[in-house]
């Protein structure tokens, strides 16, 4: 499997006909909406509390380990072998970009706790100019950085070249640390796209939050518009990745030429289209939080086989550079039917959770003594249709390639 070949290859991997899967997807979203409308008649997700982390002083240990690992990987990308034996691409595109999602869903916003840029900022005791706090920026800096990262991952030429990755990581670190000097350490919560990424996925963590899904109803520290844009880029880039792997796209760029130019334009258009569709169908409702489980489900579904195959392979590459486990190889090949079933399940579960969170938000938007139930459901209906369309698109793009 190529490092950049994400997901299951074709519809023949499905254990069921695609049309039945699409019908089941639509039925699942509609039924979850109807069941929630009947049984979920009052807001239940508000008032969620965060569990005490109880990390004490030992958090310094994983912080030091992560910082040391990142420094080693960046240095190895710049000075190590410039071929497929270098684990730089695995570390960035598999361990960090893909692996951070399930880790955050389970444990919470882990990247904030062990962010090597935060650790380096504190250890170096960099001067704090404190001219302008980062609070007024929302998450817009992270949106732009995430768009730059997904462009690098999906479009940029030579993106698996260790030198290119190394210079990119060093440049990113310098800019982030420089902005933290200007705006304070909390810049990372708004400017580091990986910290925002982990924090949003961590809203689903049962370890972090005392009651399931309450993290998605808790207030967000930044503006809703910037968070919606961040989720749109996150989700939209994964949609683009699926679409760009299709024979139709390959044939188009082969005929038209200028593959990077067209891919850049398509990536931006898909992300912008997702944002406009979400904001347009939501109406007066703020549905940003309901998009998080959908984005998580689609990301895990899309990159599931990549995570299973390439994450251990990257670990082997890293230790084999030190002369350990010579000749060892990770030759696990996922069973297509099992992967396809897991992918369908992840997408559907993400959409069901999204429907529940959106329904709860709609109930919370109006005081209970003034809430006309039918009017509330009518407000949600365009969003449900949008989610059905997203379910179909997600399943279609994953398996029809």
In this prediction, residue 6 has a pLDDT band, given cuts at 50, 70 and 90, of: very low
What is residue 149's predicted lDDT score, i.e. its pLDDT?
A: 96
pLDDT exceeds 80 at position 219: yes
What is residue 5's predicted lDDT score, i.e. its pLDDT?
A: 44
In this prediction, residue 8 has a pLDDT band, given cuts at 50, 70 and 90, of: very low
User: Is 289 contained in some domain?
Assistant: yes
User: Is 148 contained in some domain?
Assistant: yes
Of the listed ranges 8-12, 268-272, 322-326, the least confidently predicted one is: 8-12
In this prediction, residue 375 has a pLDDT band, given cuts at 50, 70 and 90, of: low
What's the mean pLDDT in 220-224? 84
Q: What three-state secondary structure class fits 209?
A: strand
**pTM of the complete model beyond 0.85:** yes
The Cα 322–Cα 83 span in angstroms is 16
Q: Which of left, alpha, beta for 130 (phi over 0: left; psi -120 to 50: alpha)?
A: left
pLDDT exceeds 70 at position 2: no
> Domains in the chain: how many in total?
1
Range of the domain at 329: 11-399
pLDDT in tens, 130-146: 555 556 678 899 999 99
User: Is 3 contained in some domain?
Assistant: no
In this prediction, residue 173 has a pLDDT band, given cuts at 50, 70 and 90, of: very high
For 110-168, strand residue ranges (E) read: none
pLDDT exceeds 70 at position 401: no
What is residue 9's predicted lDDT score, i.e. its pLDDT?
A: 34
At 209, phi and psi to the nearest 5?
-110, 140
Q: Which of 330, 301, 336 is nearest to 12 (CA)?
A: 336
What is residue 95's predicted lDDT score, i.e. its pLDDT?
A: 94
At 274, phi and psi to the nearest 5?
-60, -45
**286 vs 309, higher pLDDT:** 309
Helix 162-183 crosses helix 60-79 at what angle (to 10 degrees)?
Answer: 130
At 198, phi and psi to the nearest 5?
-65, -40
User: Is 4 contained in some domain?
Assistant: no
Q: What three-state secondary structure class fits 50?
A: strand
End-to-end CA distance of the chain: 15
Give the single-character DSSP code of 368.
G
The Cα 52–Cα 211 span in angstroms is 13
Q: Which of 209, 188, 377 is nearest to 283 (CA)?
A: 377
Q: Which of 357, 350, 240 is nearest to 296 (CA)?
A: 350
User: Is 105 contained in some domain?
Assistant: yes
Q: Which of 94, 3, 29, 21 is nearest to 400 (CA)?
A: 21
User: Is 61 contained in some domain?
Assistant: yes
Distances (CA, A) of 59 to 98, 206, 299: 23, 20, 28
In this prediction, residue 361 has a pLDDT band, given cuts at 50, 70 and 90, of: confident
What is residue 54's predicted lDDT score, i.e. its pLDDT?
A: 62
Pair of tokens at residue 360: 């709860």
What's the mean pLDDT in 319-340? 84
Distances (CA, A) of 94 to 87, 183, 227: 10, 31, 24
Paired residues of 209 in beta bridges: 50
The Cα 310–Cα 4 span in angstroms is 10
What's the mean pLDDT in 63-83? 94
In this prediction, residue 34 has a pLDDT band, given cuts at 50, 70 and 90, of: confident
Of the listed ranges 31-40, 77-86, 184-193, the least confidently predicted one is: 31-40
pLDDT in tens, 229-285: 999 999 999 889 888 877 888 888 888 878 889 999 999 999 999 888 877 776 667
What is residue 4's predicted lDDT score, i.e. its pLDDT?
A: 47
pLDDT in tens, 97-141: 999 999 999 999 999 999 999 999 998 877 665 555 556 678 899
User: Is 63 contained in some domain?
Assistant: yes
User: Is 6 contained in some domain?
Assistant: no
What is residue 347's predicted lDDT score, i.e. its pLDDT?
A: 87
The Cα 369–Cα 148 span in angstroms is 47
Of the listed ranges 9-23, 86-100, 346-360, the least confidently predicted one is: 9-23
């Amino acid at each position: 499997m190529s490092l950049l070949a994400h997901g299951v290859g074709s519809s023949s991997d499905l254990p069921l006909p695609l049309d039945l899967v699409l019908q089941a997807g639509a039925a699942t979203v509609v039924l979850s909406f109807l069941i929630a409308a009947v049984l979920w008649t009052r807001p239940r997700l508000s008032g969620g509390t965060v569990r005490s982390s109880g990390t004490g002083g030992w958090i310094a240990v994983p912080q030091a380990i992560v910082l040391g690992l990142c420094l080693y990987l960046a240095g190895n990308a710049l000075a190590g072998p410039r071929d497929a034996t270098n684990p730089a691409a695995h570390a960035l595109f598999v361990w960090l970009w893909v692996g951070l999602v399930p880790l955050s869903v389970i444990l919470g916003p882990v990247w904030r706790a062990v962010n090597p840029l935060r650790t380096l900022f504190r250890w170096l005791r960099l001067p704090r100019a404190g001219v302008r706090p980062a609070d007024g920026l929302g998450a817009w800096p992270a949106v732009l950085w995430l768009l730059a990262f997904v462009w690098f991952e999906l479009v940029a030429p030579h993106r698996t070249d260790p030198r290119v990755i190394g210079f990119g990581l060093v440049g990113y670190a310098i800019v982030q640390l420089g902005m933290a000097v200007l705006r304070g350490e909390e810049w990372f919560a708004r400017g580091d796209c990986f910290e925002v990424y982990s924090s949003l996925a961590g809203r689903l963590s049962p370890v972090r939050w005392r009651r399931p899904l309450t993290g998605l109803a808790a207030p967000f520290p930044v503006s809703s518009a910037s968070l919606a844009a961040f989720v749109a880029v996150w989700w939209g880039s994964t949609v683009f990745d699926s679409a760009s792997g299709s024979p139709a796209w390959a044939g188009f760029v082969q005929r038209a030429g200028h593959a990077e130019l067209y891919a850049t334009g398509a990536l931006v258009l898909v992300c912008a289209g997702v944002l406009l569709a979400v904001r347009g169908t939501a109406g007066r409702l703020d549905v940003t939080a309901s998009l998080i489980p959908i984005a998580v489900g689609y990301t895990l579904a899309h990159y599931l086989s990549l995570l299973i195959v390439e994450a251990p392979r990257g670990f082997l590459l890293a230790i084999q550079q030190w002369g350990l486990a010579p000749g060892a190889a990770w030759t696990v090949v996922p069973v297509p039917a099992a992967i396809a079933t897991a992918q369908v399940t992840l997408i559907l579960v993400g959409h069901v959770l999204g429907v529940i969170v959106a329904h709860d938000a709609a109930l919370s938007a109006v005081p209970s003594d003034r809430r006309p139930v039918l009017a509330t459901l009518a407000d949600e209906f365009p969003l449900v249709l949008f989610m059905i369309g997203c379910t179909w698109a997600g399943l279609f793009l994953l398996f029809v390639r």
